Amino acid sequence: MASTQGAAGQGEASEAVSFGDRLAERVASRESQVVLGLDPDPARLWPEALDRVDSAVDDAPRAGDASPAARAARAVAAHCALVIEATAEQCVAVKPQVACFERLGAPGWSALAETVAVAREHGLLVIADAKRGDVDVTAASYAQAFLGETPTPYGPVPGLGVDAMTVNPLLGRDSLEPFVSTARAHGRGLLVLVRTSNPGAADIQEQELMNGGAVSDRFADLVDEIGNAGVGTAGLSDIGAVVGATAPGRLGALRERMPRAVFLLPGVGAQGGRVEELAPAFAPGPAGGLVSASRGIVAAYEHAGDDPATAAAREANRLRELAWRLSA
Amino acid sequence: MASTQGAAGQGEASEAVSFGDRLAERVASRESQVVLGLDPDPARLWPEALDRVDSAVDDAPRAGDASPAARAARAVAAHCALVIEATAEQCVAVKPQVACFERLGAPGWSALAETVAVAREHGLLVIADAKRGDVDVTAASYAQAFLGETPTPYGPVPGLGVDAMTVNPLLGRDSLEPFVSTARAHGRGLLVLVRTSNPGAADIQEQELMNGGAVSDRFADLVDEIGNAGVGTAGLSDIGAVVGATAPGRLGALRERMPRAVFLLPGVGAQGGRVEELAPAFAPGPAGGLVSASRGIVAAYEHAGDDPATAAAREANRLRELAWRLSA
């Protein structure tokens, strides 16, 4: 799995170690399975983030660009840094939602790269919530964008260099292969959409197939199959699955089909998922399940009546303790 | 459908006119259904694009940024501009592949915005090949990024302002709704993945369901259903479908399920699809089918032994005549 092609911002990650092993080590040392979701809405940032941008307007190197996009991107980056600072101790990873950065154009993409760097400084893994999926040549381009690098006549252009990314398997096995080979070459991981957390997941993913099982079961089998070659010494594969915390009734069956996959479990909190119901996710060990929460942590102060950082840290710690106890 | 919130770079597009009507008008006036796919690989750009970047190094406003990403992005933008200049007369739209720009980071996103602007200057519609799909709040963010704008404390940030984008329907109906409402509010369109052009499409999309039909048929029914409210006077809906030209045997059945959808037909040329087999796509009229070709046009000179621009124009015109004759 060793590679001479390093991606940018990989921090302390050794490329010789598989994603599953890196994750297991990190979960154990931090005693946390909490993934901090970062879905920054420029209209709902922490007030301190706006203050920071205002007060930095005179001395920041980019203060010259006063376009709404550039200013909003600086505020988004400041917000994400504040949220990470407040909650990093309780978390094992951050999960930036790429859409929220992309809507700010080029400055938004820079804010995303900054956020990745801040997360690494705090010892956190980074999972890009990108949900990309395309035909093979395009999938290879997305893999370069997030996990690898792009050869150009001017030298290699490093990608975001995240530890893992979410991918959409609708286009089938050949569309996943470029992601798998790039991830594996760099010691990174994939989290494949198997059963999402939204009500509409029932429309397609839970449809029963003539050949048996639901569409989501078919995805699960695919995850297990392509993950077999990437199982580390901790017993976890580098190909994991996104399984919504909102459908706990499906967790056990999906865990049986994917005994070595890391489950990323979105939907806790605002969407109605409860940590207490996620036990099957942890069957392969404490790193078998990653509990993802976004608004539940970041907007906790809106209900708690406390300052944003204190309320976020408290909620992140509450989730951390719940999940850790469940997985012990 | 009128909206006071204009997106950037909309050019001459009137927001009161539906996407289907705008497309029908454009296809008729240009006598073309050819969509120029732009999938720029920095390692395989037209030589003239590299020359332009080299010679502009002294006077370009951004020449100060000599990072590989910035230089490669300038070369990619120059390449796309050259390809558009060479072939615009034969085409009705361009289809930039977002992955190819995204892998160059923030400068890549700027190159994408530049390419959109150049296409508009040449009277072409723009279809962002993004294949986005996510839970509703995130889908709304992607819709802002490509079709709308994002409210921020510093004023609205315009999105890319493309005329249409491709979306992935795996997450179900509720995940498409934010795209539909944003598109409709701005007179834009969506092209929903129904049956993709790659071999792996068979893995999931062609699986038969217990309730009848294949997964792709379910997507087709969804497209027809949500498209009903967006049918213009030309009889075409603002919700279209991506149907691979590599599976002509499925075209007729899918057309029956989606009688008013615009079909975007990728896979002609390099992937083996043949224009001559696409007749069912044009059942609702000449704008019912859009024939997308990328490498077949852009890399035509590698086989033709002519200069890149001449070979590209010749191949684009060949496809244009084939499709136009078929739809007459």
- pLDDT tens string A234-271: 999 999 999 999 999 999 999 999 999 999 999 998 78
pLDDT of residue A262: 98
Q: Which of A109, A134, A152 sits opposite B72 (nearest CB)?
A: A152
Does the CB of A272 have a partner CB in chain B at under 8 Å?
Answer: no
Q: Which of B103, B141, B209 sits opposite A209 (nearest CB)?
A: B209
| Best residue in B149, B152, B197 for a mutation probing chain A (most A CBs within 10 Å) | B152
Least confident of A113-122, A280-289, B52-61, B198-207: B52-61
Q: State yes or no: pLDDT of B5 exceeds 60.
A: no
pLDDT of residue B216: 98
CB contact under 8 A, B198 and A159: no
- Look up residue B304 and give its amino acid: A
Neighbours of B181 (CB within 10 A): 14
CB contact under 8 A, B198 and A174: yes
What is the distance between the alpha carbons of residues A193 and A165, in angstroms, rounded to a whole number?
11
> Residue B6: inside a domain, yes or no?
no
What is the distance between the alpha carbons of residues B300 and B245, in angstroms, rounded to a whole number?
19
Structural domain that includes position B92: 19-327
Q: State yes or no: pLDDT of B11 exceeds 60.
A: no
> Residue A163: inside a domain, yes or no?
yes
Question: Distances in Å between the alpha carbon of A270 and those of A98, A245, B137?
Answer: 20, 11, 12
- State the Cα torsion B226-B232-B238-B241 to the nearest 10°: 80
What is the distance between the alpha carbons of residues A237 and A213, in angstroms, rounded to a whole number?
23
Nearest residue to A124 via CA among A164, A73, A180: A164
What is the distance between the alpha carbons of residues A40 and A77, in angstroms, rounded to a whole number?
9
> Residue A280: inside a domain, yes or no?
yes
pLDDT of residue B60: 52
What is the distance between the alpha carbons of residues B79 and A215, in angstroms, rounded to a whole number?
41
CA-based nearest distance A108→chain B, Å: 8
Give me the percent of chain A exceeding a pLDDT of 70: 93
Using one digit for the tens of pLDDT, what is the confidence trace for B227-285?
999 999 999 999 999 999 999 999 999 999 999 999 999 999 878 899 999 999 999 99
pLDDT of residue A61: 53
What is the distance between the alpha carbons of residues A237 and B128, in angstroms, rounded to a whole number?
34
Buried b (16+ CB within 10 A) or exposed e, A257-293: bbebbbbbbbbbbebebebebbebbbbbbbbbbbbbb
Task: Examine the predicted complex and report whether its ipTM is higher than 0.90.
Answer: yes
Q: Taking a C-beta distance cutoff of 8 angstroms, is the pair A1, A16 a contact? A: yes
H or E, element range at B126: strand B125-132
- Look up residue B83 and give its amino acid: V
> Residue A166: inside a domain, yes or no?
yes
> What are the percentages of helix, strand and coil residues in chain A, rounded to 5?
50, 15, 35
H or E, element range at A192: strand A189-195
CA-based nearest distance B20→chain A, Å: 25
CB contact under 8 A, B219 and A204: yes
Tokens of B29: 């006036």
Buried b (16+ CB within 10 A) or exposed e, B155-167: ebbbbbbbbbbbb
Using one digit for the tens of pLDDT, what is the confidence trace for B150-197?
999 999 999 999 999 999 999 999 999 999 999 999 999 999 999 999
- Distance from the Cα of residue B294 to its chain's centroid: 11
Chain B residues whose CB is inside 8 A of the A214 CB are none
> Residue B8: inside a domain, yes or no?
no
**What pLDDT band is residue A64 in, cutting at 50, 70 and 90?**
low
> Residue A317: inside a domain, yes or no?
yes
Neighbours of B222 (CB within 10 A): 22
Using one digit for the tens of pLDDT, what is the confidence trace for B86-111?
999 999 999 999 999 999 999 999 99
CB contact under 8 A, A209 and B211: no
Tokens of B310: 């001449």
Nearest CA in chain A to B146: A103
Angle between helices A47-55 and A68-87 (to 10 degrees): 120
What is the distance between the alpha carbons of residues B138 and A99, in angstroms, rounded to a whole number?
6
Nearest residue to A104 via CA among A115, A95, A93, A94: A115
What is the distance between the alpha carbons of residues B219 and B89, in angstroms, rounded to a whole number?
34
**What pLDDT band is residue B15 in, cutting at 50, 70 and 90?**
low
Give me the percent of chain A exceeding a pLDDT of 90: 88
Residue B228 has φ and ψ, to the nearest 5°, of -55, -40
Angle between helices B136-146 and B173-185 (to 10 degrees): 30
- By three-state DSSP, how is residue B64 classified? coil
Q: Taking a C-beta distance cutoff of 8 angstroms, is the pair B79, B49 a contact? A: yes
Chain B residues whose CB is inside 8 A of the A205 CB are 170-172
Single out the catalytic residue among A3, A6, A48, A131: A131
| Best residue in A203, A211, A264 for a mutation probing chain B (most B CBs within 10 Å) | A203
Q: How many domains does chain A have?
A: 1
pTM, to two decimals: 0.94
> Residue A71: inside a domain, yes or no?
no
Neighbours of A28 (CB within 10 A): 14
pLDDT of residue A7: 40
Least confident of A97-111, B51-65, B100-114, B310-324: B51-65
CA-based nearest distance A205→chain B, Å: 7
Q: Supply the Cα-derived Rg of chain B in whole angstroms.
A: 19
Using one digit for the tens of pLDDT, what is the confidence trace for B113-161?
999 999 999 999 999 999 999 999 999 999 999 999 999 999 999 999 9
pLDDT of residue B58: 54
Residue at token pair 């001459």: B12
> Residue A175: inside a domain, yes or no?
yes
Domain of B98: which CATH number?
A: 3.20.20.70
Active site residue A131: yes
Bridge partner list, B93: B35, B125
CB contact under 8 A, B105 and A219: no
What is the distance between the alpha carbons of residues B174 and B62, in angstroms, rounded to a whole number?
42
